[in-house]
Amino acid sequence: MPRTRSVENESLLSAALEGLELQRQRIEDQIREVKSLLGKRSGRATVDAEPAGAKPARKRQLSAAARKRIAAAQKRRWAEYRKQQAEPQES
**pLDDT tens digits, 39-91:** 876 555 555 556 667 788 888 899 999 999 999 999 999 999 999 998 866 55
27 vs 11: CA distance, rounded Å: 24
Beta carbons within 8 Å of 35's beta carbon, 6+ residues apart = 46, 48, 49
Helix (H, G, I), strand (E, B) or coil at 63: coil
pLDDT band at 25 (very low <50, low <70, confident <90, very high): very high
pTM: 0.37
